């Protein structure tokens, strides 16, 4: 098991903007050259390559969902072999911390570092882990580097994120208030007959599961994740008990779905009653690869990704990543 760990600290993550100076001083003193706070993509790539050269097998990521995605994306393209990526201890310091709700370390700040140091000294780093496969988003036929993350979506999901990213919301409200403002704007649009129809009409999109031909239709909502749990007991996915997990859980909802409000009420509480599972409007399951064809952008961990000139991207179950648990 690893006997040391490096810290990648994102000073711009929401909670880290108010980071205790003592915590930072403790981290720098404890870790020395293994403390890193890269502020640019170039600096992050250089940091990861240096850690690969030093054969550091455990990374502590102090940031939010976006930070995790950026670190995983760089690791995926780095000198680290994809079949032997370093273990990660995730300290949640972002806005939503959706990933940490499933695979977070369970401690933050100096308490987390001291616990990790005691585990390292006892040669117990990696004794308690959860393994997950991140989503790998790539663009067929393009030279763009793949992006990694854990929760993605399109359709109404993209529309909601675009509302949240509007300057009048993004630059006016703090995170929690911004979420509320987004929900209020969305609700107002859904209660407007004209705008409600635009939402319910869905978005033309083709979905191809595991190499199958694309099923093209108007879709109200598409979601996918590599996580096994979401916050607040939300879990809008299901699959038959006999079906083996292929790495990606997905939800696919047609335009003008039947009993939408009742379905949302159930799915937001992690319930999928038989009428939803039997309805032609709702589909869910597991896949190893999904090809999405759409003019609309795809959102991955809050980042809006254009589908490119080919209006096509692949979402695949990525390499296994081990997340340390306290």
Mean pLDDT by runs of 10 across the 326 residues of the chain is: 88 64 86 94 97 96 91 97 96 82 92 93 92 98 94 90 72 51 61 80 96 95 95 90 95 95 89 96 98 96 92 98 96
In the chain, which residue ranges form alpha helices assigned H by DSSP?
21-31, 41-53, 65-76, 100-103, 109-121, 156-164, 167-170, 175-191, 193-200, 260-267, 274-278
pTM comes to 0.91
pLDDT of residue 14: 62
Q: Which of 156, 148, 138 is nearest to 99 (CA)?
A: 148
Cα atoms found within 13 Å of the Cα of residue 64, Cβ hemisphere only: 17
| Class of 151-300 in CATH | mainly beta
- Backbone CA torsion sign across 141, 252, 154, 40: negative
Sheet holding 321-324, edge to edge: 35-36, 6-9, 58-63, 87-92, 321-324, 129-132
pLDDT of residue 40: 94
Specify the residue for token string 């987390």: 112
Tell me where in the chain the CATH 3.40.50.10330 domain(s) lie.
6-133
Residue 73 and residue 48 in contact, taking contact as beta carbons nearer than 8 Å: no
Write down the CATH number for the domain with range 6-133: 3.40.50.10330
Tell me where in the chain the CATH 2.60.200 domain(s) lie.
151-300
Q: Which two tokens mark 306?
A: 């254009």
Burial class (CB in 10 A: 0-12, 13-18, 19+), 17: exposed
Q: CA–CA separation, 122 vs 113, rounded Å?
A: 14
Question: Distances from the Cα of 41 to the Cαs of 69, 161, 252, in angstroms?
Answer: 12, 23, 33
Largest CA distance in the chain: 63
């Amino acid at each position: 098991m690893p006997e040391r760990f490096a810290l990648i600290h994102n000073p711009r993550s929401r909670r880290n903007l108010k980071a205790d100076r003592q915590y930072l001083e403790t981290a720098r003193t404890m870790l020395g050259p293994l403390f890193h706070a890269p502020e640019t993509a170039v600096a992050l790539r250089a940091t990861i390559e240096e850690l690969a050269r030093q054969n550091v097998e455990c990374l502590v990521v102090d940031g939010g969902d976006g930070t995790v995605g950026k670190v995983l994306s760089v690791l995926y393209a780095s000198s680290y072999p994809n079949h032997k990526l370093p273990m990660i201890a995730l300290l949640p310091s972002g806005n939503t911390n959706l990933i940490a709700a499933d695979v977070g370390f369970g401690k933050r700040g100096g308490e987390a570092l001291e616990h990790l140091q005691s585990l390292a000294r006892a040669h117990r780093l990696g004794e308690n882990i959860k393994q997950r496969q991140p989503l790998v988003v790539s663009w067929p036929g393009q030279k763009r580097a793949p992006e990694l993350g854990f929760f993605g979506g399109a359709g109404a999901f993209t529309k909601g994120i675009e509302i949240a990213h509007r300057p009048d919301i993004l630059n006016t409200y703090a995170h929690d208030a911004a979420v509320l403002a987004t929900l209020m704007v969305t609700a107002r649009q859904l209660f407007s007959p004209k705008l409600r129809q635009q939402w319910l009409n869905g978005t033309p999109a083709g979905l191809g599961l595991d190499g199958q031909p694309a099923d093209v239709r108007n879709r109200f909502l598409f979601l996918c994740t590599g996580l096994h749990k979401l916050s607040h007991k939300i879990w809008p996915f299901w699959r038959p008990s006999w079906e083996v997990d292929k790495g990606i859980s997905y939800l696919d909802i047609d335009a003008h779905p039947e009993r939408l409000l009742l379905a949302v009420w159930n799915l937001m509480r992690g319930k999928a009653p038989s009428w939803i599972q039997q309805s032609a409007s709702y589909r869910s399951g597991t896949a190893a690869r999904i090809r999405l064809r759409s003019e609309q952008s795809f959102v991955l961990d809050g980042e809006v990704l254009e589908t490119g000139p080919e209006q096509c991207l692949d979402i695949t179950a990525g390499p296994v990543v081990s997340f340390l648990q306290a």
